[in-house]
């Protein structure tokens, strides 16, 4: 008997990938199980954090908008039109939806049952490839020429390269898992699983896998009475077990699980079942791996309820940085992502601190990060540097308002310290009354630094010229930025002092091109990567940006990019400085992650010859940029 609705669905689907790869008869069988959904304008199909559905969806007519939440606003990031697929998450992940799907006009959507479609995916590589590429690249259609590579993620600042970080990095899994032999009794195997808090156990002979038993087997075969709890484990095991080789990526693990319709993979020495067991991969491992993607970490930051929650995010961020470096992702992309997540962590710490205060803030204020945090160059867990700007208030209220913000800052800095950001040894923190001021006081402070640099010690406080707005009223920060631009404009004395300071550290090579290392102290014979190589480039970018009146750009690489745009005659030098800074920052980050330090001091004996050559090549731009500073500010006599 004909089914006109199913035939109509089939005739529609056959024109769009991946359905176009299927035979008409098979597509018709799928269509018979589909549901047809009618959505009115603004009706929601699924929302962020909803549990995943048993269906994925194809737009038959109309348009479905996909949006994420940025702070409290819904941000539309894509629109699915006729033939586009959405809601693929249940195929590849068990955690909830990461976006909202809502009809932008009256729409008809076909809901295709995932369980019905899975067998066709497993037997058709073209279909599997399409779905995996769609999900892994976060595109609604990887073959869409107009939108290829367009990101659909938690935060719209990320590009498809970050999706590659997530899905093509090696998956972490349990090594040397607990195993059982086929003659072990179910009862004792179950007790072992319970005491070890594991959901599966591999059955082996001579350390070679022959089967697997999961919680599901115990429920469906033992709890139902199908088998006695006293039988041997081989009676209820699933066999054969799916085996894979080491160094499997997340994407590859997802493919294997989907292809074989399993939730566990056994890792062996050579990837076959005739080889020794070395590990086990579970669906949970895939979910955990996905939890380290930037969008998820941002979401976790926003929802954190205590410092321990934020500490967990920061620890996951370390893994993200390491994986990004392993994948050779450009360091400027890493700093951009990490900077946003660090900012989100700080912002949430402030929100939690405000909740702990007896009253709401008595005046408008802004929290700013300064130094490396202000430049969004803090990849390692170094100390915190921050400040507070609050609006001008009546003189009689000033002390009370300032004391409120100092108390607030103490709570915030304490939380940040618990997360892992050490207190600044020089007390350059918002909890220090010196760095918690009204707008007018901050304007006065900067005017003093700028117009009397020698007297006011601006050279010790250049850190305050590298700041980034974090929370509150950004207009207060803009007011200070305007003051800095006005006061530094054509201020020859200020730039003379600042320029001389920027020239204090020449390229760190001796007469015979040997590295200049520390002569004594705790770090004797090591190379000070921060002081001798990174800081000269940071200082140069700062003074040149200030001299050009560049506002709201504090990141060193971004500063050099802007300078190259404004001064084409020096563009080659600025671009070389940006490249050198990026490589030096990568050196420091790798050193810090390897030794769990701030990465400042390099042991040159541990570097390869190639790395030493790279380092020395990065020093030439320091010489070039210092020559630019000498000429621009006529500093021959200062040096």
H or E segment to which residue 164 belongs: helix 160-168
Work out the average pLDDT over 485-510. Answer: 88
Residue 161 sits in the same domain as residue 188: no
Domain identity same for 47 and 160: yes
Are 528 and 624 part of one and the same domain?
yes
Report the relative pairing of strands 200-205 and 179-180 from DSSP bridges: parallel
For 45, 54, 75, 87, the CA distances from 65, given in Å and listed in that order, are 10, 20, 10, 12
Q: Strands 264-268 and 277-282, how do they pair? A: antiparallel
Give dist(CA 152, CA 323) in Å, integer: 21
Residue 183 and residue 74 share a domain: no
Q: Find the length of the chain.
A: 639
Which residue, of 142, 168, 194, is where some domain finishes?
A: 168
pLDDT computed for residue 198 by the predictor? 87
Is residue 128 domain-shared with residue 271, that is, in the same domain? no
Single residue among 261, 290, 319 that ends a domain in this structure: 290
Given a cut of 80, whether residue 114 has pLDDT beyond it is yes
246: Cα separation from own chain's centroid = 25
Using alpha carbons, select from 210, 296, 287, 207 the residue that is nearest to residue 253: 287
Look at strands 35-39 and 107-113 and give their pairing: antiparallel
CA distances (Å), 330 to each of 162, 340, 557, in order?
11, 16, 12
Looking up tokens 């090591």 gives 526
Closest of 37, 252, 18 to residue 141, by C-alpha: 18
420-449 average pLDDT score: 93
Asked if 142 and 189 sit in the same domain, the reply is no
**196 falls in which pLDDT band (50, 70, 90)?**
confident
Mean per-residue pLDDT of the chain: 84
Looking at 123, 144, 168, the residue that finishes a domain is 168
- Residues 164, 180, single domain; the answer is no
Percent of the chain surpassing pLDDT 70: 88
Residues 160, 186 share a domain: no
Query: Is 508 in the same domain as 567?
Result: yes
The per-residue pLDDT for 161 is 42
- Is 316 domain-assigned? no
- Mean pLDDT confidence for 379-392: 90
Q: Give the range of the structural domain holding residue 606, as residue numbers without chain letter.
A: 499-633
CATH number of the CATH domain containing 20: 2.60.120.10
What is the secondary structure of 357-413 as a DSSP string? SSS--SS-EEEEEEHHHHTT---S-----EEEEE----HHHHHHHHHHHHHHHHHHH
Is residue 268 assigned to a domain?
yes
User: Do 589 and 605 share a structural domain?
Assistant: yes
Q: Work out the pLDDT band at 1, boundaries 50, 70, 90.
A: low
Structural contact between residues 310 and 301, judged by C-beta atoms closer than 8 angstroms? yes
CA gyration radius, the chain: 30
The count of structural domains within the chain is: 4
Positions of E strands within 260-349? 264-268, 277-282
Q: Is residue 296 in some structural domain?
A: no
Residue at 480 is within a domain: no
Q: Which tokens hold the place of 140?
A: 């609604």
Cβ–Cβ < 8 Å for 542, 557: no
CA angle 614, 618, 624 (to 5 degrees): 150
Residues 463 and 581 in one domain: no
Percent of the chain with pLDDT over 90: 43
Looking at the structure, tell me whether residues 280 and 350 fall in a common domain: no
Residue in the structure block whose two tokens are 């760095």: 435
With respect to residue 192, please indicate whether it lies within any of the assigned structural domains. yes
pLDDT, residue 459, reads: 61
> In this structure, is residue 184 part of a structural domain?
yes
Contact 535, 502 (CB under 8 A): no
* DSSP 8-state symbol, 198: -
**Burial class (CB within 10 angstroms; exposed 0-12, middle 13-18, buried 19+) of 394:** exposed
pLDDT (tens digit, 9 = 90+) per residue, 288-305?
A: 666 566 767 877 888 888
579 is written with which tokens?
């490249």
The CATH number for 263's domain is 3.10.580.10
CB contact at 8 A, 569 and 632: no
Mean pLDDT of 41-70: 86
Give a yes or no: residue 569 inside a domain. yes
Q: pTM (2 decimals)? A: 0.59
Report residue 256's pLDDT band, with 50, 70 and 90 as the boundaries: confident
Choose the weakest-confidence range: 67-81, 553-567, 585-599: 67-81
Residue 361 lies in a domain: yes
pLDDT classification of 442: cutoffs 50, 70, 90: very high
């Amino acid at each position: 008997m004909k089914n006109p609705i199913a035939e109509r669905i089939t005739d529609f689907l056959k024109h769009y990938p991946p359905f176009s790869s299927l035979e008409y008869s098979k597509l018709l069988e799928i269509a018979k199980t589909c549901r047809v959904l009618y959505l009115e304008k603004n009706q929601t199909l699924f929302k962020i954090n909803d549990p995943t559905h048993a269906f994925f969806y194809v737009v038959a007519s109309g348009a479905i908008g996909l949006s994420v939440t940025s702070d409290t606003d819904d941000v539309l990031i894509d629109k699915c039109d006729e033939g586009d697929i959405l809601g693929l998450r249940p195929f590849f992940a068990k955690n909830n939806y990461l976006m909202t799907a809502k009809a932008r006009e009256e729409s008809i959507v076909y809901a295709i049952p995932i369980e019905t479609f899975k067998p066709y995916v497993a037997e058709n590589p073209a279909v599997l490839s399409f779905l995996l590429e769609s999900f892994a690249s976060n595109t609604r259609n990887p073959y869409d020429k107009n939108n290829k590579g367009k990101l659909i993620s938690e935060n719209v600042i990320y590009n498809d390269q970050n999706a590659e970080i997530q899905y093509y990095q090696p998956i972490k899994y349990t090594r040397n898992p607990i195993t059982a032999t086929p003659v072990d009794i179910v009862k004792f195997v179950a007790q072992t699983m319970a005491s070890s808090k594991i959901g599966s156990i591999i059955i082996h002979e001579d350390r070679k896998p022959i089967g697997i038993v999961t919680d599901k087997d115990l429920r469906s075969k033992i709890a139902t009475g199908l088998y006695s709890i006293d039988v041997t484990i081989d009676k209820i095991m699933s066999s054969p077990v799916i085996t894979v080789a080491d160094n499997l990526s997340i994407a590859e693990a997802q493919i294997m699980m989907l292809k074989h319709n399993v939730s566990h993979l056994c890792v062996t020495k050579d990837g076959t079942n005739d080889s020794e067991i070395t590990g086990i991969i579970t669906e949970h491992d895939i979910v955990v791996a996905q939890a380290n993607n930037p969008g998820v970490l941002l979401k976790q930051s926003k929802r954190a309820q205590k410092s321990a929650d934020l500490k967990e995010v920061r620890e996951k961020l370390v893994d993200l940085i390491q994986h990004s470096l392993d994948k050779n992702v450009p360091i400027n992309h890493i700093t951009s992502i990490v900077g946003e997540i660090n900012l989100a962590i700080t912002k949430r710490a402030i929100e939690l601190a405000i909740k702990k205060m007896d009253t709401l803030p008595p005046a408008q204020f802004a929290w700013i990060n300064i130094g490396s945090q202000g430049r969004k160059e803090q990849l390692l867990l170094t100390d915190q540097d921050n400040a507070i700007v609050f609006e001008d208030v009546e003189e009689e209220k000033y002390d009370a308002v300032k004391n409120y913000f100092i108390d607030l800052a103490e709570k915030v800095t304490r939380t940040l310290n618990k997360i892992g950001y050490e207190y600044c040894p020089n007390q350059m923190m918002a909890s220090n009354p010196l760095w918690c001021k009204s707008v007018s006081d901050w304007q006065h402070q900067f005017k003093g630094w700028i117009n009397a640099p020698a007297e006011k010690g601006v050279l010790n406080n250049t850190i305050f010229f590298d700041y980034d707005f974090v929370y509150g009223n950004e207009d207060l920060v803009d007011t200070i930025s305007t003051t800095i631009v006005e006061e530094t404009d054509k201020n020859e004395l200020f730039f003379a002092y600042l320029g001389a300071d920027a020239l204090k550290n020449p390229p760190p090579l001796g007469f015979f091109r040997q590295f200049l290392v520390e002569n004594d102290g705790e770090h004797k014979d090591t190379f000070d990567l921060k002081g001798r190589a990174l800081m000269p480039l940071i200082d140069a970018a700062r003074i040149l940006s200030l001299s050009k009146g560049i506002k709201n750009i504090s990141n060193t690489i971004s500063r050099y990019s802007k300078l190259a745009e404004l001064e084409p005659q020096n563009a080659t030098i600025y671009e070389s400085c940006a490249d050198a800074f990026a490589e030096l920052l990568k050196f420091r980050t790798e050193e810090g992650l390897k030794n769990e330090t701030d990465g400042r001091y390099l042991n040159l004996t541990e570097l390869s010859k190639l790395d030493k050559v790279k380092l020395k090549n990065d020093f030439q731009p320091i010489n070039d940029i210092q020559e630019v500073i000498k000429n621009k500010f006529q500093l021959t006599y200062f040096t």
